[in-house]
Amino acid sequence: MLSTGLRQLGFAWSMLSGRGFRVRDAMALADDVRATIEEFGSAGDGAGDMLSAPDPEVQDGLTRRRLRRTVRNAARHTPYYRHLFERIGVDPASVTPDTIASIPPTPKNALRSMPAAFVSDRARPAMAAQTTGTTGIPTTVWFSQYELDITVATGALALMLTAGLRSEHVWANCITTRSIAQYLEGRSVPMAGAGYVPIGPVDPRVALDRLATPMHLPGKRPQITHLNATPSYLAAIVQEAERDGWTAADFGLQEIHVGGEILTDALRDRARELFNVPVTDGYSMTEIIPVAGQVCAHDHLHLPVDLGYVEVLDPVTLEPAAPGAVGSLTITPFLSYRDTTTLLRYVTGDLVRVLPEAEKLGCEMAAVPATSRILGRVTGSDLTTRDVLELLQAERALPLPTRYAIEETGDPGGPVLHVVAERASRTLSARLEGRVADLALPLSGVVLVEDPADLPTPCRVRADLREHTFHTVPAGRSA
Amino acid sequence: MNHGLQGALALDTVVLVTIGLAVGYLAKVRMPRPPAGLFVRSDIVIMVALLVIMPFAYLDMPAALVCTVFGLTVFVGLQFTLAPLIGGRGAVAVATPACAFEIVAYFAHWSTALMLVNDVALVVVATGVTNLWVQTGMRPPLVAGFAAALVVYDTVATGLSSVTSDFMHLVNGIPFAPMLAARYTPEPIMMGLGDTLMLTLWPLVAIKSYGRAAGICAIAVDVLLMAAVFAGFATGAITYIPLLTPLGLLIVAQYFYWRRRIPVVVPVRDPLEAALRASYGEDEPADGTWVALHEGKVVGRGDSPGAARRTAREAGVAEVPVTALGRP
């Protein structure tokens, strides 16, 4: 208890000072929290405060300090930013949250084209993570052993203190085994004491079978309790389970976590209906680790301010988006968590809406700043990915995962929406067009196709990152 | 009965009251726990190290500084013990005048009042400290290890050297002395706070870990030990005793006794045991077919473990069955 107290003080000091963590202490602290929970059933009083931000005034000072250290380090040691600062003539020491606009935002393409230029000269690169590259070109991000370890330790703390993961639980991951999230969770979930099952994005029938399979392990629930997947893979599972007659009673699930893509209300409701468990929507991406957001019960995306500096920039002008306007999430991960691939004002391309000034946060996460949920990309005139997915996933006759393409035709009514359907019919088409009109979406028409190859442009979703297995499950009874 | 024996009897009674209060406190009061952390082996090592070092340090400190250290300890101990009962402010409102009174009583030479108030404060502090240790997960092996270390320490410091004796003279009659006292100089009758803590601690740990019988046994052992010591004083066989020497050995003995009598039970996974005992008989599954077994009977079949589990659910089996592959 005395040594734990010292470790907690050290962890708190690192959090407050913005300096690096002592990895050994952070790991030991995660072990201490797990042991405490296993002994008493819960962490001690005030445990949640270990990961939460202090009051706003203190937070402002901390943000300035962390940002200053991060910018100064990038300008000194990261080739891309060293050249950038020389070119723009800005003194890195002068950068504060008020003057951060003096640094040009970093576009995704810059990192994609020369990832090594973003790796600090002082770094000790240990592991490369490539993004899935659904847009065609993956982005490479290097991590040091320090970054991996500290992210694992803080991830384990968050799983225990925020997500309520306990040693009796079994966590299954259906995200691609090539992702950094798979690696990190593969270490942080066992550190939290829970069991970890890396299923990967295999044939959804195999995944369902694994979820239903009894395990009867000592100290664990008899079946998998937590599922982590991308929304498109969850959609594939939901589709398969509905077709094959699975019910919630076949599984032991307690929670589903999704992230990496847009989770629509329609898909969330369908998954809840099928598995009878809450579906938690999160946001993160490889480049901005450890910055991660969570969607609250009021459908806001909350992004904590102590892991990185978060901005929402107008996608065209790259100026701060006004309240109520749509902008791109732009993130600067802080140096204490990221010392290898360093990024300043990284434009994620993921759009959100800045909350109107009149909108007061009244949810359980009100202390953490928030935006709207992720809207995706803008396709056509003011049409977002979320608009299209909400429209299509509310229609149960369409197959999951949803596949579509937007075709600009020059029609003043807007682009044409091409959608993959199992059976293209006039009735279905009319129903969709009726909903387009009801929602006043800027679309001039809906075209149904029965083969994804007939879409004018390929539609890639993360569920397509299918991994093969020799484990086969016979076709479903009602399929 | 002479005054010395009356004093010793009074001290024994105070210790029993402390044990009773601590047991009641354990049953009724949940102390605030730190965010993370249990009482672990390293804590015992730190405590033993402090226990060995501090008496020597105190002997070289000015009395005022020793008083200040103990005063802070008593104040904090009173505060955290009483806070769960009467709130943080209430606890401060009690602890502050109690500590202030000890200082006033010392300068006013009200030695009896000082002794009484200090005894009451130490009873409360001992109740709180032992509960804090137990409620933060101090387990029997740790207490036994601590007790074993104290056997060595007390034998040397009290029995074979003058460290404890010198320390008793240093704190004799000063405010916040860590000694329960029935009389101060010239012929002090005192019992160290460490003795009181260990007499109180083991019954609490025994109750929490091994149950009421172990707790009653621990208290009975305490009473018998104190009775034996009292008899030693009464007959003149002893004039002082390193109490932790016999007490530590008795705690270690009790630990080994209860550990053997109440071994840690590793739960058996009944569904698996039943499935392994099962004889399929005519239900022998074909090669490549999965079966779901519940209470040793086949309750579902399928082409995969999940499918077999599902057919079991469809057959009305609410519990999660065991699945197994048909034997070739």
Residues B155-206: tens digit of each pLDDT: 988 888 888 888 888 888 888 988 888 777 677 778 888 899 999 999 999 9
Q: What is the DSSP letter of B156?
A: I
Chain A nearest-CA residue for B313: A250
Please tell me whether residues A416 and A361 are part of one structural domain. no
Nearest to A35 by CA among B206, B33, B143: B33
Q: Considering CB atoms only, which of A1, A209, A211 is closest to B38?
A: A1
Please tell me whether residues B23 and B135 are part of one structural domain. yes
User: What tokens appear for A75 in the block?
Assistant: 């300008």
Please tell me whether residues A351 and A235 are part of one structural domain. yes
Q: Is residue A281 part of a domain?
A: yes
Boundary-marking domain end, from B224, B240, B261: B261
Please tell me whether residues B255 and B276 are part of one structural domain. no
Which residue range forms the structural domain that includes residue A218?
Answer: 143-372
Q: Is residue A427 part of a domain?
A: yes
Q: How many domains does chain A have?
A: 2
Q: How many CB atoms lie within 10 A of CB A389?
A: 24
**Strand-pair category, B297-302 with B290-294:** antiparallel
Please tell me whether residues B205 and B81 are part of one structural domain. yes
Please tell me whether residues A161 and A292 are part of one structural domain. yes
Please tell me whether residues A430 and A353 are part of one structural domain. no
The number of C-alpha atoms within 13 Å of A1 and in the hemisphere containing its C-beta is 18
Cis peptide before A79 (omega within 30 of 0): no
Q: Considering CB atoms only, which of B36, B303, B320 is closest to A214?
A: B320
B315 Cα to chain A: minimum distance (Å): 12
Kindly report which listed range (A14-23, A86-95, A355-364, B72-81) carries the lowest average pLDDT score. Answer: A14-23
Q: Considering CB atoms only, which of B36, B136, B306 is closest to A208?
A: B306
Q: Which of B30, B31, B38, B311 should we substitute to test contact with A (largest number of A Cβ atoms within 10 Å)?
A: B38
Whether residue A292 has pLDDT greater than 70: yes
Q: Is residue A6 part of a domain?
A: no
Please tell me whether residues B117 and B197 are part of one structural domain. yes
Q: What is the DSSP letter of B113?
A: H
Please tell me whether residues B109 and B163 are part of one structural domain. yes
Q: Is A353 helix (H, G, I), strand (E, B) or coil?
A: strand
Which residue range forms the structural domain that includes residue B91?
Answer: 3-261
Question: For residue range B237-266, what is the model confidence (pLDDT) as tens digits?
Answer: 877 788 889 999 999 999 999 998 887 778
Q: How many domains does chain B have?
A: 2
CA distance A253 to A258: 14
Q: Where are the beta strands (DSSP E) in B148-307?
A: 179-183, 189-192, 290-294, 297-302
Whether residue A477 has pLDDT greater than 60: no
Please tell me whether residues B88 and B113 are part of one structural domain. yes
Please tell me whether residues B68 and B24 are part of one structural domain. yes
Please tell me whether residues B8 and B138 are part of one structural domain. yes
Please tell me whether residues A390 and A367 are part of one structural domain. no
Q: Considering CB atoms only, which of B35, B307, B321 is closest to A209?
A: B307
| Mean pLDDT for the stretch of residues A293-300 | 92
| Mean pLDDT for the stretch of residues A368-384 | 86
Please tell me whether residues A271 and A357 are part of one structural domain. yes
Q: Is residue A175 part of a domain?
A: yes
Q: How many CB atoms lie within 10 A of CB B235?
A: 8
Q: Is residue A325 part of a domain?
A: yes
The pLDDT value given to residue A136: 67
Whether residue A1 has pLDDT greater than 60: yes
Distance from CA of residue A167 to its chain's centroid?
24
Q: Is residue A83 part of a domain?
A: no
The pLDDT value given to residue B309: 95
Q: What is the CATH number of the domain that holds A178?
A: 3.40.50.12780
CA distance B326 to B298: 11
Please tell me whether residues A365 and A391 are part of one structural domain. no
Please tell me whether residues A285 and A426 are part of one structural domain. no
Question: For residue range A397-417, what is the model confidence (pLDDT) as tens digits?
Answer: 999 999 999 998 888 888 999
Please tell me whether residues A236 and A323 are part of one structural domain. yes
Boundary-marking domain end, from B261, B289, B314: B261
Chain B partners within 8 Å of A214 (Cβ): 271, 292, 305, 309, 320-323
Q: Which of B132, B310, B313 should we substitute to test contact with A (largest number of A Cβ atoms within 10 Å)?
A: B310
B43 with A2: Cβ contact below 8 A: yes
End-to-end CA distance of chain A: 57
Please tell me whether residues B173 and B276 are part of one structural domain. no
The pLDDT value given to residue A479: 36
CA distance A236 to B223: 70
Mean pLDDT of chain A: 90
| Mean pLDDT for the stretch of residues A153-157 | 93
Chain A partners within 8 Å of B46 (Cβ): 2-3
Boundary-marking domain end, from B261, B288, B316: B261
pLDDT tens for chain B, 328 residues: list them: 566 678 788 888 999 999 999 999 999 999 888 777 788 888 888 888 888 888 888 888 888 888 999 999 999 999 999 999 999 899 999 999 999 999 999 999 898 899 999 999 999 999 999 999 999 889 999 999 999 999 999 898 888 888 888 888 888 888 898 888 877 767 777 888 889 999 999 999 999 999 999 999 999 999 999 999 888 888 888 777 888 899 999 999 999 999 988 877 788 888 888 888 876 666 666 677 899 999 888 899 998 999 999 999 999 999 999 998 876 5
Please tell me whether residues A306 and A398 are part of one structural domain. no
A470 Cβ neighbours under 8 A, 6+ residues apart: none
Please tell me whether residues A295 and A402 are part of one structural domain. no
Q: Is residue A70 part of a domain?
A: no
Q: Is residue A32 part of a domain?
A: no
Please tell me whether residues B298 and B232 are part of one structural domain. no
Please tell me whether residues B60 and B88 are part of one structural domain. yes
Boundary-marking domain end, from A339, A372, A405: A372
pLDDT confidence bin for A320, thresholds 50/70/90: very high
Please tell me whether residues A412 and A360 are part of one structural domain. no
Chain A partners within 8 Å of B309 (Cβ): 212-214, 250
